[in-house]
Amino acid sequence: MSPVVPRRLADRAFLWLAALAVLLIVAMLGVILGNIVWNGWEQITWEFLTAAPRVGMTEGGIFPAIFGTVLLVLLMTIFVVPLGVCVAIYFSEYANRESPLYRWTRQAVNNLAGVPSIVFGLFGLGFFVQFVGRGVDRAFYEGRLTYGQPALIWAALTMAVLTLPVVIVSVEEALRAVPQTYRDASYALGATRSQTIFRVVLPHALSGVLTGGILAVSRGAGEVAPILFVGAAYFLPHLPTRLNDQFMELGYHVYVLSTQSPDVEATKPLLYGTVLVLLALTFLLNLTAIAIRSRLRVGAETGR
């Protein structure tokens, strides 16, 4: 037998192995999505989306959780996008790649992205709630407990720190994709560096900024661990109206329904419904990001 035959066999075998691995991934996703959609679909009614939980969470809807989630990610976006864009501009337009400052800050961002989310939760509790919040109370509220407790604003800030690397990387990538010729043209007309950044580079990278924001939102909407200690509530009779209110949140609600319920069988359908809503929300956000990105990219290239 020539040595060619086992070699071909090995080649063929690897192909099948790779195909099997791909199939496995697809199947897993299929089972998860199928199971959730199949069991959760029936739950998605108008009442489920607009009512508050009742009877120890075994009946009613999840509106406060949807409301809280939206509020949380909106507030988070307000914090994280400007900060992330500034850092990305520094990295892409100002920093000298050789300088130690650049290397350190770059490494810091990379490390930030690798920190487990529960650690962010503890950081939020220690820094925002206990340190900043208590400080605010001492300074402005004569020590009365106002901001020195888990609250919407601290949750949003914690989430902003968590999603910061997502925004930075996405925006920076978009800034670097802006052709150097645009910058040259701008400088050659007598523009300063900041004029070039704000009138040429940033508008051209708008798709990246938007994508960064949406990716951060979709990441933030799916995280539970960071907000466990800093503002998410088990159940609230009222919707949050102030920055120092606590709030309900979809991811946390899933956790609550699945582990803290007095009657697991009764909450199971609700749980499926909640998970479906959470999945649909993040999926929709990701889809929007992709759509905006491709639309703006095509527009930038063809001028339409």
Partner 1 sequence: MNVPTMRDFPLLKTQVRFPAVAGEPRVPKIEVEGLTIRYGKRVAVREVTLPLYQNLITAIIGPSGCGKSTFLRALNRMNDAIPGVATQGCVMLDGLNIYTPGFDVIELRRRVGMVFQTPNPFPKSIYDNVAFGLRINGLVSSRAELDARIEQALRAAALWDEVKDRLNRNALQLSGGEQQRLCIARALAVQPEVLLMDEPASALDPVSTAKIEELMFELKKDYTILIVTHNMQQAARVSDLTAFLLNGTLVEFNPTPRLFTTPTDSRTEAYITGRFG
Interface contacts to partner 1, rule CB under 8 A: 96, 179, 181-182, 184-192, 195, 199-200, 204, 300-304
CB of 296 to partner 1, least distance (A): 10
CB of 154 to partner 1, least distance (A): 41
CB of 301 to partner 1, least distance (A): 8
The CA distance from 288 to 224, in Å, is 22
CB of 93 to partner 1, least distance (A): 11
The CA distance from 212 to 84, in Å, is 9
The CA distance from 42 to 276, in Å, is 11
CB-side neighbour CA atoms (13 Å) of 198: 6
The CA distance from 72 to 30, in Å, is 30
Q: Which is nearer to partner 1, 99 or 107 (CB)?
A: 99
Q: Which is nearer to partner 1, 132 or 191 (CB)?
A: 191
The CA distance from 25 to 30, in Å, is 8
CB of 256 to partner 1, least distance (A): 49
CB of 169 to partner 1, least distance (A): 23
Q: Which is nearer to partner 1, 97 or 242 (CB)?
A: 97
Which one, of 250, 66, 82, 223, lies nearest residue 158 by Cα? Answer: 223
Q: Which is nearer to partner 1, 136 or 191 (CB)?
A: 191
Q: Which is nearer to partner 1, 189 or 284 (CB)?
A: 189
Q: Which is nearer to partner 1, 126 or 179 (CB)?
A: 179
Q: Which is nearer to partner 1, 94 or 283 (CB)?
A: 94
CB of 295 to partner 1, least distance (A): 14
Rg (CA), the chain: 24
